[in-house]
Chains A and B, each alone.
Chain A
Amino acid sequence: MLKMTPLNATHRAMHAKMVDFGGWDMPLHYGSQLDEHHHVRRDAGMFDVSHMLVVDIHGENVRGFLRGLVANNVDKLTLPGKALYTCMLNPEGGIIDDLIVYFLSESWFRLVVNAGTADKDIAWITSQANRDAPHLTITPRRDLAMIAVQGPNARTKVWNVITGAQAISENLKPFQSATLDSYFIARTGYTGEDGFEIILPADDVVDFWQKLHTAGVAPAGLGARDTLRLEAGMNLYGQDMDETSNPFESGLGWTVDLKSERDFIGKQALQQAPVKQQLVGLVLLDKGVLRNHQKVITQHEGITGEGEITSGGFSPTLNQSIALARIPAGVAIGDQVHVVVRDRQLAAKVVKYPFVRNGQALI
């Protein structure tokens, strides 16, 4: 039996093509994935992301517990409402999940974790808390829903729907959040566009979705979400990283704080492990479409190496195929590599990603 978000019947009424996404019955598209992609880049689209899990941690000195739990440093969070993107590592430095941590008060932090890893995350966080901070309360919030409204006009359209939202959210910088009654409004997203991710009671989400739709926000499915995040160079857990890869091999070195003296789970392993691989962007030079798991053949200092595409696809904004690939360290930006597509080797160029931000091509 597939799990359903509170918007399941709404998606079906809007003629969504539904797919099994990690055990959740989710909309893939509502007609055309390409149209939905362009709508987000050019105007405003909305995604039901209620399959993701909000986890609230309450109690004395939540910050102290999170200092040890995640690889980024929660001491960067000084202003209430501020958010931090981080990995949660196992002792070997492998990535258990990537998540966002919101600092709401010293006795209340909020995590948003991936759907497919939610049960594993809760078990892990609970076991760590039982050992290090048994006084904390860890609450998975399946009573909440979440909608991402993304695009250059997303914020304005949200303001037209939620009375009073503009006053509390127009000065939010990226990765800041504010609360208005039962709405938790964060200026975050997974598309490379401006917008909000809004957390609200599950009972209110159908009404809110319909109001956004009336205000001109187009529904967008997981298909567009994937092409948008790939263009934006954002990792997808389970594809671009998992427990067998560490942040340095996953393009996420910038989220790991090794400078501070604090210890965190996985730190020692990261300090000792040699980084043999890197995550890079690829742009296909030949005709075709790059796909997940295709083999990449590289050359570096005369040595032939091998890598793999972790996320490949067609970029609607660039009108060509792009990918994230894990390849040997040392292969440089601008180098040419070859990707094995069916019985052929296609030429691709190694590029720095993101590929697209705020509607603009960067490559």
Chain B
Amino acid sequence: MSIPAELKYAKSHEWVKAEADGTVTIGITQHAQELLGDMVFVELPEIGRNLAQKEECAVVESVKAASDVYAPISGEVIAVNSELEATPEKINQDPYVAWLFKLKPADASELDSLLDAEGYGQLLESEEH
């Protein structure tokens, strides 16, 4: 299972990339897309919406089920990957390229509350047992 070392992870299976300009990019992990299967629909948050940490803010739906996506940290939505609305299967093809939305963090220290790649790997292992 690929867990890129440069990313941070939420326990609810989102990945977070801290960009050089202080914004963050968010998507769902390889584990999440494998669990859900073929994606058929994505609902993204509105640009300008202020999210609290762990707030439900997007929905990814596969042939099998709908799954909520949570804001890994609090902040304002500054961009969404609207290309996914027409091509949700890109999440299956490469979940670390097919980002969902970008945030301007309200409190960058919240990034420290997220898991690193090793911690996320351990979480997946513990969920398997």
Contact = CB atoms under 8 A, between A and B. Distances in A.
Interface string B93-119: 000000000000000000000000000
A314 B66 CA distance: 11
A33 B62 CA distance: 10
Contacts of A289: 40-41, 61, 66
Interface string B40-59: 11010000000000000001
Interface string B57-73: 00101011110000000
A288 interface: yes
Contact of B41 (A227, A288, A316): A288
B59 A314 contact: no
Contact of A227 (B43, B61, B63, B85): B63
B61 A223 contact: no
Interface string A13-32: 00001000000000011001
A295 interface: no
B43 A314 contact: no
A33 B59 contact: no
A33 B64 contact: yes
Contacts of B66: 289, 291
A289 B67 CA distance: 12
B38 interface: yes
B63 A342 contact: no
B37 interface: yes
Nearest to B40: A314
Interface in A1-53: 17, 28-29, 32-34
Contact of B63 (A17, A223, A287): A223
A313 interface: yes
A354 to B, nearest CB: 19
B41 A287 contact: yes
Contacts of A342: 59
Nearest to A19: B64
Contacts of B40: 289, 314
Interface in A291-339: 291, 313-314, 316, 321
A309 B39 CA distance: 21
Given A223-B64, A288-B43, A32 B38 contact: yes
A354 B115 CA distance: 48
24 contacts: A17-B37, A28-B64, A29-B37, A32-B37, A32-B38, A33-B37, A33-B38, A33-B63, A34-B38, A34-B63, A223-B37, A227-B63, A287-B43, A288-B41, A288-B43, A288-B61, A289-B66, A313-B63, A314-B40, A314-B41, A314-B61, A316-B63, A321-B41, A342-B59
Query: Shortest 4 CB-CB distances between A and B: which pairs?
Result: A314-B40, A34-B38, A289-B61, A289-B41
Interface of A: 17, 28-29, 32-34, 223, 227, 287-289, 291, 313-314, 316, 321, 342
Interface of B: 37-38, 40-41, 43, 59, 61, 63-66, 85, 89
Given A33-B64, A288-B61, 7 more contacts: A28-B64, A32-B37, A223-B37, A227-B63, A287-B85, A289-B61, A313-B63
